[in-house]
Amino acid sequence: MKKIDAKLIQRVNQAFVKVKRSHFMPESLRHMADSDRPFSIGFGQTISQPYTVRNMLLWLAPQKGDKVLDVGSGSGWSTALLSCLVGASGRVYGVERISKLKLWGEHNCLSFGCRNVQFFVAEQSLGLLDYAPYDRILVSAAATEQIPHELLAQLAPEGKMVIPVEHIIYELKKSLTDKIDYCRKHAGYAFVPLVI
Active site residues: 48
CA angle 101, 123, 74 (to 5 degrees): 20
C-alpha span between 138 and 148 (Å, rounded): 13
Helices (H), 61-135: 77-86, 99-112
C-alpha span between 167 and 170 (Å, rounded): 10
Helix, strand, coil abundance in the chain, percent, nearest 5: 35, 30, 35
Cα(first)–Cα(last) distance of the chain, in Å? Answer: 33
- Give the HSE-up count for residue 14: Cα atoms under 13 Å, Cβ half-sphere: 11
89 contact partners, CB below 8 Å, separation of at least 6: 64, 65
Prior bond to 133 cis, omega within 30?
Answer: yes
